[in-house]
Amino acid sequence: MGDRCSSAVIASAMAAAALLGCGPAHAIDAAVIDAAKREGEVVWYSTQIINQLVRPIAAAFEKKYPGIKVRYTRANANEVAVKILNESRAGRPQSDVFDGTSSVVPLKQEGYVLQWQPEAAKDYPDIYKDRQGYWVASNIYINTPGYNTSLVPKGSEPHTYQDLLDPRWKGKMAWNALPSASGGLGFVGTVLAEMGERDGMAYLRAFSKQRVANVAAAAREVLDQVIAGEYAIGLQIFNHHAVISAKKGAPVDWIKMEPATGTLSVISIHKNAPHPNAAKLLVDFIISKEGQQVYRDADYLTADPAVPARDPSLKPEDGHFRVRFFPPETIEDNVPKWKQVFDDLFG
Amino acid sequence: MTSSAEAPSWSRSSARQTTWIAGLLTVVLAALVVPPLIFLLQGSLIIAGAPNEATRWGLENFQNVLGGRRFVGTALNTLVFAAGSAVIALVVGWIMAWIVERTNAPLKGLAYVTAIISLGTPYILYVSAWLLVFGKAGPVNQLYRTLTGSTDVLINIYSMPGMVLVEGFLWSPLAFLLVGATLRNANPELEEAARVSGAGVWGTIRRITMRLSLPAIMALSMLVFIRAIEAFEVPALVGLPGRISVLTTDIYTNMMARAPPDLGGSSALSVLMLLLVLVLLYIYARLSRHAERFATITGKGFRPRPFDLGRLRYVAAVILVVDFVLLLLVPMLMLAWISLLPFFAPVSAASFKLLSLNNYRTVLASDHLELMINTMLVAVATATSAVVLTFFAAWLAVRRAPGGWLVERLATIPLVFPGLVLGVAVMQVFLRLPIPLYGTIGILIWAFVISYLPYGMRYSSSGMLQIHRELEEAAAVCGASALTRLRRIVAPLLAPALVAGWLFIFLMATRVLSLAILLAGPRSQTMAVAMFDLWGNGQGTELAALGLMWSMLMAMIAVAFYVMARRSAAGALGRA
């Protein structure tokens, strides 16, 4: 909240300030840190990779705030939602902080999410944070096509959605067929949003003749199969995965096909968090420059525009390509419709 | 026990003890099985509305399962897939078990190595290895293209035969261990009598050996058939890319399209499977009503002697080698190849320069000790509890004790529970209980015991059917109580089946992924979490290294246990 809305203001003034555009951003003061230290720990239900990200974040946080231990579990977004819902309904919430691309929506609807954003979020683009303060993005995901450079020589790869209709790619493409934005559903959603309902459906009908292989596994595994040569092109793969593998020498590259699909990994605090102050401290840390640098060092695409990715060209603002972002609410609202189209045309 | 007038008193006290055992066991099994069962039935009848809308009751979930898109096609695919997998698992498992337990073929150890290592390998790795071997870019099709100059593929693994083979192979160690345990106790005199009466090798197998293992064959068909109908992984990984859908592919993708997942469809399918299981159990019960037919362990002593195959024993050895190569060596070599690479590269001369031990170094450098200890604790506790419970349950069921009918059903019902339904049900139970077990490994063990009861039950009761009740009757007349009889007579004779069941459950429990991840709290993380982390991370090559080392470690523990148990069992049966 900064100087403009100092911590001394009374409650009604805070509400007024929020209306005036201060937003729900809150500064961390000594009182929160002291209270967090008394709580002693913070529990993070994560969908992020432990070895790469969760552990380094925990280590950096524990170094900055000695005496507060970060405990964590990792599962898929669906499982995280199941756990939090069941624990909360039984009145025994175990988690303080959780993340995911869209699972915040049902949890918010049942009233289990705190409206709170750290001060650092004020520098984030509007699309990366919830206006009501339920979530803020810690990192972004960009889904684009990736291709095997030994099977498809550089320069001959498709560049546009129209290029994908070329008969030479028939039967040579694969995507993740699980209901996820980083898969066929996200492709359908992006095409419909970009081209409009009528032209979009016409495009998808033409595209269904390409017989894309439905791989019922995460986008990362689709990319692995592309690297192994099973398919020439993987659709909706994560662009940073292609870069990580290429760095190891794998014959793979990603395509700046516009618009790419963008989703957000958003972080939220449980309304009845057992360690509410430590929870705020952790979210504040993750959104701060310090936390974002840990994300960057783990090869993630940081949400903070001031912290470039390790390979800056992966992020739309530095790589200069257009992305259509789907915030959690849009994903949650549209998945049934996208899935219907996907099942009809590609299932 | 000195005068005949006292006879009714031992029989009464023994019956009282049996009633106690039955009562206690019913309570324990009901506590385990009934909550998830209620949750399943409830889930199958609850219709989830749009987000924010209230839920209501109805039969739509069943309608969706039975009237889904292209229902006839997917239902047929499902039946072919499930029946085919059961047949493959049975044929492979039975032949291996027969050769190992009943013949004098050389190289028998290979069959154990194959079964144990493949059971200990996380199935995602095992299935991926198959796909990499037989996939479009795999060495088999590459070799074919090089030799013929064709641009096509020789083998299309993304097909129904591909699905059936992979699923069948995955279950064949179960068949091998279960049939093996029963064949070991088969009385060779029957086979010898058949041979003497002029039956050939095949005639003897068909008319004697196979008939004697009928309960085991029935039990296996049920386990594999039901599990294959509810399987999602193999149809998803192998079938979907080839556009072959089964009932579960639609159900599971619909389920996962919502957060929290909509359990309606999979619950409804499970309820339908539950009806099928009850029918199968009824048939099984009719079959085992004449349990004496299968009882080869009687008051008359015998010594299992191997069947002399003559020269055919070299043919048998070749079969063992083929099994070993196909089910173990090929996938393991593929995994070993991947584990030495920085990324998934096809087998080629160019890839050889990429080979290094880096993945092994990374795995050994990361600290998995706590996870390993948790996993071992969970697996040992699960296997032991499930085997102990089903030992008593099978005894009550096969001896037709009061309550035996009920415990048999209670112990078999979990076969139909989908993982997520079981997980959520167990979660809810422990969240409501005042005891602080939620978030500990206790809840993992609880859930795993439930899901492995049906396997333990089939191992124990197939073995129990072979033990003629006259042995126990003799002991009872001599004054042995029910517990004494169980301890001194039944348990030692049942040892081969119990050991095989323990081994199977132990190995399965070390490699479970999704259930372990769902129920793990911050303080109860297991190896599943580490494996899932590498998998989701695209560190498949590192996962291959971890998976290989892990399955070797598990195999060593399993073999050590097996050798130990077999020695003590051999002692009990008076065999060398």
Q: Do B261 and A82 touch (CB under 8 A)?
A: yes
The pLDDT of residue B443 is 93
The per-residue pLDDT for range B425-447, each reduced to its tens digit, is 999 899 988 888 898 999 999 99
Of B530 and A94, the one with more pLDDT = A94
The per-residue pLDDT for range B257-296, each reduced to its tens digit, is 777 788 888 888 889 889 988 888 888 777 767 666 677 7
C-alpha to C-alpha distances, B441 to A45, A79, B414, B504, nearest whole angstrom: 17, 18, 20, 20
Count other C-beta atoms under 10 Å from residue B51's C-beta. 13
Of B68 and A307, the one with more pLDDT = A307
The pLDDT of residue B55 is 75
The pLDDT of residue B573 is 53
The model's confidence at residue B149, banded by pLDDT at 50, 70 and 90, is confident
Of A220, A229, A248, the CB nearest to B137: A229
| Mean pLDDT of all residues in A281-298 | 96
Would you call B249 an interface residue with chain A, using a CB distance cutoff of 8 Å?
A: yes
Q: Is B534 helix (H, G, I), strand (E, B) or coil?
A: helix
The pLDDT of residue B539 is 75
pLDDT of A317 over the 70 cut? yes
| Mean pLDDT of all residues in B104-114 | 89
The per-residue pLDDT for range B306-341, each reduced to its tens digit, is 777 888 889 999 999 999 999 999 999 999 999 999
The per-residue pLDDT for range B125-142, each reduced to its tens digit, is 888 888 888 888 888 888
The per-residue pLDDT for range B376-387, each reduced to its tens digit, is 999 999 999 999
Q: Cβ distance A15 to A24 under 8 Å?
A: no
The pLDDT of residue B5 is 43
Measure B523 CA to nearest chain A CA, in Å.
8
Q: Which structure tokens are listed for A342?
A: 């996907």
The pLDDT of residue A327 is 95
Q: Do B521 and A94 touch (CB under 8 A)?
A: yes
Residues in chain B, overall count: 576
The pLDDT of residue B378 is 94
The pLDDT of residue B103 is 87
The pLDDT of residue B176 is 93
Measure B437 CA to nearest chain A CA, in Å.
13
Q: Give me the residues paired with residue A324 across strands.
A: A261
With CA atoms as reference, report the closest residue to B518 among B447, B415, B455: B447
Q: In chain A, which segments carry CATH 3.40.190.10?
A: 11-140+264-309, 141-262+320-346
Q: Give me the residues paired with residue A148 across strands.
A: A252
User: 30-59 in A: which are within 8 Å (CB) of B?
Assistant: 43, 49-52
Which residue reads 């490699």 in tokens? B511
Identify whether B109 is part of a domain. yes
From chain B, pick out residues whose CB is under 8 angstroms from the CB of A178: 253, 256
Rg (C-alpha) for chain B, rounded Å, is 25
Return the residue in B39, B136, B514 with the most chain A beta carbons within 10 A, the one to mutate for interface testing: B136
A158: Cβ contacts below 8 Å, ≥ 6 apart? A145, A164, A166, A169, A233, A255, A257
B230: Cβ contacts below 8 Å, ≥ 6 apart? B248, B266, B269, B270, B273, B416, B418
Q: Do A215 and B241 touch (CB under 8 A)?
A: yes
The pLDDT of residue B264 is 85
Rg (C-alpha) for chain A, rounded Å, is 21
Of A73, A100, A224, the CB nearest to B344: A224
The model's confidence at residue A50, banded by pLDDT at 50, 70 and 90, is confident
* Alpha-helix residue ranges (DSSP H) falling in B232-368: 233-234, 247-256, 264-287, 312-324, 330-339, 358-365
Measure B64 CA to nearest chain A CA, in Å.
15
Measure B225 CA to nearest chain A CA, in Å.
22
Q: What's the pTM value of the predicted model, to 2 decimals?
A: 0.88
- Cα(B55)–Cα(B261) distance, integer angstroms: 14
The per-residue pLDDT for range A101-125, each reduced to its tens digit, is 888 999 999 999 999 999 999 999 9
Mean pLDDT of chain B: 85
- Supply the CATH number for residue B109's domain: 1.10.3720.10
The pLDDT of residue B501 is 92
Q: Do B344 and A179 touch (CB under 8 A)?
A: no
Residues in chain A, overall count: 347
Secondary structure string (H, E, C) spanning B15-66? HHHHHHHHHHHHHHHHHHHHHHHHHHHHHHHEECCCCCCCCEECCHHHHHHH
Of A87, A229, A347, the CB nearest to B346: A229
Q: Looking at the predicted complex, does its ipTM rise above 0.95?
A: no
Number of domains observed in the structure of chain B: 1
- Cα(B194)–Cα(B188) distance, integer angstroms: 10
With CA atoms as reference, report the closest residue to B331 among B170, B174, B171, B509: B170
Which letter, b or e, does each residue of A316-347 get, where b requires 16 or more Cβ atoms within 10 Å of its Cβ? beebebebbbbbbebbbebbeebbebbbeebb
Which residue reads 């003799």 in tokens? B474
Q: Do A241 and B538 touch (CB under 8 A)?
A: yes
With CA atoms as reference, report the closest residue to B168 among B241, B79, B90: B90
The per-residue pLDDT for range A119-153, each reduced to its tens digit, is 999 999 999 999 999 999 999 999 999 999 999 99
Report the amino acid identity of residue B319: I
Q: What angle in degrees, to the nearest 10, is found between the helix axes of A289-297 and A55-64?
A: 150
pLDDT of B9 over the 60 cut? no
From chain A, pick out residues whose CB is under 8 angstroms from the CB of B540: 221, 224
| pLDDT above 70 coverage of chain A, percent | 93
Q: What angle do CA A73, A79, A80 make, to 5 degrees?
A: 50
The model's confidence at residue A4, banded by pLDDT at 50, 70 and 90, is very low
- Report the range of poorest mean pLDDT among A84-88, B238-242, B440-444: B238-242
Q: What angle in degrees, to the nearest 10, is found between the helix axes of B491-511 and B540-572?
A: 170
Q: Compute φ and ψ for A142, nearest 5 degrees.
A: -115, 120
| pLDDT above 90 coverage of chain B, percent | 28
Q: Give me the residues paired with residue B375 across strands.
A: none
Q: What angle do CA A35, A38, A44 make, to 5 degrees?
A: 85
The two most distant CA atoms of chain A are separated, in Å, by: 67
The pLDDT of residue A9 is 40
Measure A178 CA to nearest chain B CA, in Å.
6
Range of the domain at B91: 7-572
Q: Do B136 and A83 touch (CB under 8 A)?
A: no
The per-residue pLDDT for range B29-61, each reduced to its tens digit, is 999 999 999 989 988 898 876 655 667 888 888
The model's confidence at residue B572, banded by pLDDT at 50, 70 and 90, is low
The pLDDT of residue B283 is 82
Of A75, A100, A224, the CB nearest to B518: A75
The pLDDT of residue B214 is 83
C-alpha to C-alpha distances, A178 to B216, B227, B251, nearest whole angstrom: 37, 21, 12
Of A75, A100, A343, the CB nearest to B517: A75
Identify whether B317 is part of a domain. yes
Of B532 and A335, the one with more pLDDT = A335
pLDDT of A209 over the 60 cut? yes
Q: Do A230 and B137 touch (CB under 8 A)?
A: yes
Of B249, B366, B431, the CB nearest to A90: B431
Class of domain A11-140+264-309: alpha beta
Q: Do B259 and A213 touch (CB under 8 A)?
A: no
- Cα(B152)–Cα(B140) distance, integer angstroms: 12
Identify whether B1 is part of a domain. no
* Alpha-helix residue ranges (DSSP H) falling in B354-479: 358-365, 369-398, 404-412, 419-432, 441-464, 469-477
CATH 3.40.190.10 fits A141-262+320-346, yes or no: yes
